[in-house]
Amino acid sequence: MDPFHLEKRNVAILVVSQTLFMVAAITVMTLSGVVGQQLSPEPGLATLPIAVMMLGTVVSTLPASLFMKRVGRRRGFMTGALMGGAAGGLLSFTAIGLESFWLFCLGSLLLGLYQGFAMYYRFAAVDVASPAFRGRAISFVLAGGVAAAFLGPWNASMATGLIAGVPSGGPYLVIAILALLAMGLLSQLKVPPGGEPQPGETTRPMKTIAGQPAFQVAVVAGAIGYAVMILVMTATPLAMRARGFEMGQVAFIMQWHVLGMYAPSFFTGSLIARFGVGRILLAGSILLAGTVAIAVFGNTLAHFWFALVLLGIGWNFLFVGGSTLLSTTHSEAERGKVQGVNDLSIFSLVAVGSLMSGSLLHHLGWETLNLMMLVPITLVVLAIVWLRMNSAHLTSERIAGLSDS
C-alpha cells in the first residue's frame, strides 16, 4: 500500500476507534453520576465513580505511553481496549446488578485505564500522518466524537432497560461490546517505522524539555481547559435532575455539549494553521468564560444548552491547540515521555475536578460553582499572553543578533 493511502487508512482506524471509546466516555459522564447517586452512601459521593475513572487515567497514562514506546501503538491500544474497556464495562454492569457502589467504582477505575490508552489516539495520528497533515489528523481523530455525541447519550438513556433485571446496567454492557470491536479494529493499525520506538535514539532530559515556554503553556491550557470542562460537565446532569428535568432532557443537553466538543475538530486544525495556535487558545478561554456568564443568568433548558455548547467548543480549542503546541516541543524519540507527562498532568487535574464536582454542587450550588471557574480560566489567559510576550522577546533578540553580526 502506498504511503498516501496507508496514511488515510490509519487515520480512519483511529477515528472509528475514537468514536467507540467516546461512546464509553460519554456514557460514563452522562450516567455514572446518576448511578453513583443511587448507589452511594451519601449525596456528596455521587460523582466519585467519575473521579475514580479519571484517577484510573492518571495512574495509567504515563505507564501506557512508556508501554507503547516499548511494544508499539497497536499492541498498546489493543491492551487498553481489552483490559480497560471490555473488563471495565462488564465489571460496572455486574456492580449495578449487585448494587455495590465500591465495585462500581472499581469498574470505573478500569474504564479509566481504557481512557489512559485511548487518549493517545490523537498522538498516534501524528505518528501516522505526514508533517503537513498532522494538525488536521489530530482534529479528524477528535472529530470521531461527533458520532459519539449521538450514540453516547442515546446509550446512556435508551439502553438502561436492555437487561430487565439490571436497571441502568445495559449501557455498561454496550461499552464492553464496543471495546471488543475497537480491539479488533486496532489490530489492523499499521504505524510506519518512524512512529515506532527506535533503538539507540538520544533524548533530552525531561527537565530541559519542560523548561520550554511552549511546553508549559501547552500543559496549562490542556490541563485547566479539560479540568474546567469536566467539572462543569459532571455537575450538569445532577444540577438538571435537581431542577426537575427528565433524563431524556439531560441526554439532549449532553448530546449537544459533546457536539460542541468535537464538531469544531473538522476545522480547528485549519483555524490553527490560519490564525496561529495562540489565538485559538485565547478564543477557547473566552468561550469558557462565556459558559460561566450564561450559566449564572438562568436555569432554563435553553440556558443549559447554550452554556454546555460553549463549554464544549472552548474545550476543543484549548485541547486541540494545546496538543498541537505540544507536538512542537519534542522529537520523535522524546514523544513517549513528553506525551505521558502531558497527559499525566492533564488527568491529575481532571481527577481533582471530577472529584470536587459533586461536593461543590451539593454545598455551593450551580451558579457559584460556575463563577469559581473564572479563576482557572484567567490563569490560562495569562499563560497565553506570557507565551506571546516571550516569543516576541526571543524574536527581538534574534533580530538584534543578526544586526550585530
Distances from the Cα of 301 to the Cα of 97, 132, 243, 369, angstroms: 32, 42, 10, 18
Task: State the chain's mean pLDDT as an integer.
Answer: 85
DSSP state of 167: T
What are the residues whose beta carbons fall under 8 Å from the beta carbon of 362, sequence distance 6 or more?
43, 44
pTM for this structure? 0.75
Place of cell 439502553: 159
Helix axes 145-158, 170-186, angle to 10 degrees: 150
Of 213, 324, 227, nearest to 268 by C-alpha is: 324
Range picked from 194-208, 274-288, 317-331 for highest mean pLDDT: 274-288
pLDDT at 192 > cutoff 50: yes
In this structure, of 258-262, 367-371, 394-398, the range with the lowest mean pLDDT score is 394-398
DSSP 166: S
Output the pLDDT for position 393: 53
Higher-confidence residue of 33 and 391: namely: 33
With contact defined as beta carbons under 8 Å apart, do 403 and 254 qualify? Answer: no
d(CA 157, CA 92): 16
The alpha carbon of 339 is separated from its chain's Cα centroid by a whole number of angstroms, namely 14
The answer to whether residue 114 scores a pLDDT higher than 90 is: yes
Give pLDDT tens digits for 133-147: 776 777 778 777 788
pLDDT band at 391 (very low <50, low <70, confident <90, very high): confident
End-to-end CA distance of the chain: 50
Q: What is the per-residue pLDDT for 4?
A: 67
User: What is the C-alpha separation between 355 and 230, in angstroms, rounded?
Assistant: 10
Residue with cell 458520532: 147
Domains and CATH numbers, the chain: 3-190+205-404 (1.20.1250.20)
What pLDDT sits at residue 193? 58
Q: Are 308 and 219 in contact (CB under 8 A)?
A: no
